[in-house]
Structure 1
Amino acid sequence: MMMIIKGSSRGQSATDVRRLADHLLDDENETVEVAQVRGTAATGLRGALAEMRAVSLGSRTRKALYHASINVGRDEAPLMTRERWLEAVDELERHLGLTGHPRAVVVHVKRQREHVHVVWSRCDPVTLKCTSDSNNYAKHEACARALEERLGLRSVIGAHTRPADTPRPVAAATHADWQAAERTGVAVADVAARIQGAWNEAANGREFAAALARRGLSLACGRRGILIVDEVGTPHSVSRRLGLKAAAVRAKLADIDEASLPTLDEVKPNKRERSMKEKKKPFGATAGTMPPVVIWDNLESWWQGQGATVVRQWDSLWIDYLGTRFKDYGDRVEIHSDAEPTDEQIAALVSAGKARGWQTIRFYGGSESFQRRARLEALRQGYPPEAISLECEDHLRGRALASETMPEHLRRKLGLPDPAPATPTPDETPPPDQVAVVPPPAPPVGA
């Protein structure tokens, strides 16, 4: 995974500045830290951004702030110490021509991956001149490639930094696509794989539409022609997802009358349906103890060795296996399905955690029946009872479950050996002349 830098000017109003501050301090992140506020009298993030905009009112600029985010791959994030993150911020500041301008640096941890946001004042507080934001994409790429080489990160060929004889790379997904995937949980790579499978099966447009329908996708008529809409209503460009020229797509879909297709608004789920789908939580297993660094190549090879089809993303793997879809984040594995998982699918879930060395395993989401069946499978695969936890039993925390004896019928069902008889300590051994006294039962109450 390369270093990715994105950014743009904003802050055209006080409301926009407040929205930016709210976004940077949002508790959807696991942790939020304001790592640095420089060049303003205010020490808090909200006050600092408001002050930057107030200073810009003395200039002619309409957008007072420049907001950028700096990301690296999950497997390379452990290499980025706080000093390295600030070094990356300083390097980007030089490339953007914002050296010495007031700035605020915010560090987020989301899904156990650290990344950085930076907000600069575009207006020099001394001269009140505003720094141009033109050619910012090229500046982002030049900065990212320089930092990749300096910090020992993997590098790629960028659209603006490629050698003269190298064709321009085409992104498999736009930033809007990525945001939609983050919001809805439907991965762009997963949709692209389904579209590719349908395209390979079909000889013409009608067969393509039927193959898409079997994969939960549908065709719609957009402003620029035929689109594909996924199950949560996100539109996808056919040519972009397939990596083909638009002319090649039009030729194969020539037998489809665009006027006969529903519009994008008609094929999208209604607002209530989208809301329910977006709120639906997947179910799966997560690790309490695991190796600190995820080796994605190893995870991908393991799933492929099980006979699964794997689509790799920057922070996870999508896996088509055993008639359902798994999503593997390294520290947790989820099943994305509307149906109750089969025993075979649960066994694969547990095996995935076992194969990567999870010392403990926790099952969450789905029904209580799923979680309890998953516990039985974890016991079968060698997890001790005290290393297994269920979300549905969180209210039972504090009970000494590990010291409880497993029922005999359950031990026989799992094929586990009989427990060794407990040997009492000298202090626990009753003297031979001590007799336990049991009080007689109370008489019944009533007529």
Structure 2
Amino acid sequence: MHEISGFIASDVLGAMKEILAVAAGTRCKQPLFSVSLNPPETETVPVAAFEGAIDRIEKANGFEGQPRIVVFHEKEGRRHAHVLWSCIDAATMTAKAITVLQDAPARSSKQLYLDHGWRMPAGLMDSKARDPKNFDLAKWQQAKRSGRDPREVKGTIQECWAVSDDRVLFSRAMEERGLYLANGDRRGHVAVTYEGEVHAIARVVGKRAKEVTARLGNADPRQGP
């Protein structure tokens, strides 16, 4: 047991009974909100990183100040955590609208993978980032006129980097989203959008040039693999 806050009880079972007792005074049928934090098996994550992630998820879901329970488990040296919040606002005796917040944990999870440089499961990538080659003419012209938000493009490159181990996977992931890996004139590996915009890979993913080269090989094919 790592943390029990906002409760009279000092143990997990007592805190959970407290949540149910408060919920009994409302019409809420699901008074608990839980999240499991399972870092990649290859990573050793400090407690402070877990605490930062929990606070971020709490804020994203509108649970700041709500009673919560945090429990750590360790199995074969790997640490993971379970967090439980009360959904009941004791001051107003109303429940948080969980139904409108269901995608918030997934967004938080994706950002954690990007922040820590972990390889991200492909399922967390933005499925809405369609290949512009599949646009019909009208949609392509609209996209061309409005332009894409540079932050969106950079986020897509970061996601492709996070799910890829080598040049082939990285290039394939980018092409599925209308981006192309190329050799920049002065910036090593670059991503080129269908509008012709160029983004330096190292700068976007926050890595040194030699780290990018280690994963993708030399940008200039004349220098060998």
Name the TM tier (shorter chain).
Answer: 0.5 to 0.7
1:364-420 CA distance string (max 9 Å, x none): xxxxxxxxxxxxxxxxxxxxxxxxxxxxxxxxxxxxxxxxxxxxxxxxxxxxxxxxx
1:33-70 CA distance string (max 9 Å, x none): x1000100111111111111111112210111112211
Q: Are the counterparts in 2 of residues 142 and 161 from structure 1 also a CA contact under 8 Å?
A: no
Q: Which residue in 2 is equivalent to 1:104? A: 69
Note the residue ranges of structure 1 that are not aligned, 5 or more in a row: 1-33, 167-296, 298-447
User: Does 2:134 match 1:132?
Assistant: no
Q: Which residue in 2 is equivalent to 1:4? A: none
Q: Which residue in 2 is equivalent to 1:55? A: 22
Q: Which residue in 2 is equivalent to 1:117? A: 82
Q: TM-score, normalised by structure 2?
A: 0.54
Change (3 A) 1:74 1:108: same
Alpha-carbon separation, structure 2, partners of 1:62 and 1:117: 21
1:249-296 CA distance string (max 9 Å, x none): xxxxxxxxxxxxxxxxxxxxxxxxxxxxxxxxxxxxxxxxxxxxxxxx
Q: TM-score, normalised by structure 1?
A: 0.28
1:327-370 CA distance string (max 9 Å, x none): xxxxxxxxxxxxxxxxxxxxxxxxxxxxxxxxxxxxxxxxxxxx
Give the alignment of 1:17-36 within 5 angstroms.
Answer: 34-36=1-3
Show structure 1 runs of 4+ deviating over 4 A.
none
Q: Are the counterparts in 2 of residues 67 and 118 from structure 1 also a CA contact under 8 Å?
A: yes
Q: Which residue in 2 is equivalent to 1:72? A: 39
Q: Are the counterparts in 1 of residues 56 and 108 from structure 2 also a CA contact under 8 Å?
A: yes
Alpha-carbon separation, structure 1, partners of 2:60 and 2:122: 19
Q: Are the counterparts in 2 of residues 67 and 120 from structure 1 also a CA contact under 8 Å?
A: yes
**Structure 1 residue 160, shift from structure 2 partner:** 7.2
Change (3 A) 1:161 1:123: farther
Q: Are the counterparts in 2 of residues 35 and 106 from structure 1 also a CA contact under 8 Å?
A: yes
Note the residue ranges of structure 2 that are not aligned, 5 or more in a row: 132-164, 166-225
Alpha-carbon separation, structure 1, partners of 2:54 and 2:15: 18
Q: Which residue in 1 is equivalent to 2:114? A: 149
Give the alignment of 1:15-414 within 5 angstroms.
Answer: 34-76=1-43, 78=44, 80-158=45-123, 161-165=126-130
SS of equivalent to 2:89? coil
**Structure 1 residue 140, shift from structure 2 partner:** 1.7
SS of equivalent to 1:134? helix
Q: Higher relative CO (CA 8 A, sep ≥ 6), structure 1 or 2?
A: 2
RMSD across aligned C-alpha pairs, in angstroms? 2.3
**Structure 1 residue 152, shift from structure 2 partner:** 2.9
Change (3 A) 1:159 1:35: closer
**Structure 1 residue 113, shift from structure 2 partner:** 1.7
